[in-house]
Amino acid sequence: MTPEDFIKANAALMSPPLVPEIKLHLATEVVPLWRATEEELAEIGVPPPYWAFAWAGGQALARYVLDHPELVTGKRVLDIGSGSGLVGLAASRAGAASVLAADIDAFACAAITLNAAANACTIATTQDDLIGAPPAWDVILVGDLFYERPLAERLLEWLGPLDVPALLGDPGRTYFPKTNVEKLASYSVQTTRDLEDREIRETGVYQLQRSKPGG
């Protein structure tokens, strides 16, 4: 079964609560596959389906971009850790000149392409790990990526010194930076109990402030 077939068979086109103008292939709570453990998924050769949820950080950042299109209009945008593609799709709808959605999961890249088609948007995808790459973008968008320490540290080491604006959407994950961030907006985001321990997550959108390399 190809990733595309898997996604079509196991997800349904739905809009995230905070971003009703965008449709995504998302997990439905009635499909038992999404209750499977990581070990069970590994046995059938499927990585944890991060792409099948619109994470609170991504929902907030997508909402902010759609409501402030001047941040991306006419610009080259990178959506790093794109998952479903939600944030990149918001940038595309807000008038970005180009959007690259990067996710190291092949299923995510397949989901992003399907979701772009469902929203009549054109966005490029890459499975390359771009953290540390020389920036070829005008804006970098980061939706809900501060859930693991090594990933958070690599991201901040890369983004901090860059001369490129980085916007972060985050519901207070453990490894979200406590300094060098300026809060731009906050949202009460409806999520699912399958994913989070509560139904509403207070979620911020932040601008990362520049820091010295290693600082």
Residues binding ligand SAM (CB under 6 A): 50-51, 54-55, 57-58, 80-84, 86-87, 102-105, 108, 129, 131, 143-145, 147, 151
CB of 178 to ligand SAM, least distance (A): 20
Distance between CA 31 and CA 67 in Å, rounded? 33
CB of 134 to ligand SAM, least distance (A): 16
Distance between CA 57 and CA 108 in Å, rounded? 17
| Strand 200-208, strand 166-170: pairing | antiparallel
Whose Cβ is closer to ligand SAM: residue 75's or residue 79's? 79
CB of 173 to ligand SAM, least distance (A): 9
CB of 81 to ligand SAM, least distance (A): 3
CB of 181 to ligand SAM, least distance (A): 17
Whose Cβ is closer to ligand SAM: residue 55's or residue 137's? 55
Quote the longest CA-to-CA distance of the chain: 48
Q: Nearest to residue 142, comparing CAs of 54, 81, 53, 211?
A: 81
Beta carbons of 169 and 188 less than 8 angstroms apart: no
**Cα 51–206–141 angle (5° rounding)?**
40
Whose Cβ is closer to ligand SAM: residue 51's or residue 176's? 51
Distance between CA 123 and CA 77 in Å, rounded? 10
Beta carbons of 129 and 104 less than 8 angstroms apart: yes
Contacting residues for 86 by C-beta, under 8 A, at least 6 apart: 16, 19, 22, 24, 54, 58, 59, 62, 115, 143
CB of 49 to ligand SAM, least distance (A): 9
Whose Cβ is closer to ligand SAM: residue 22's or residue 86's? 86
Whose Cβ is closer to ligand SAM: residue 132's or residue 214's? 132
Whose Cβ is closer to ligand SAM: residue 41's or residue 131's? 131
Nearest residue to ligand SAM, scored by beta-carbon proximity: 58
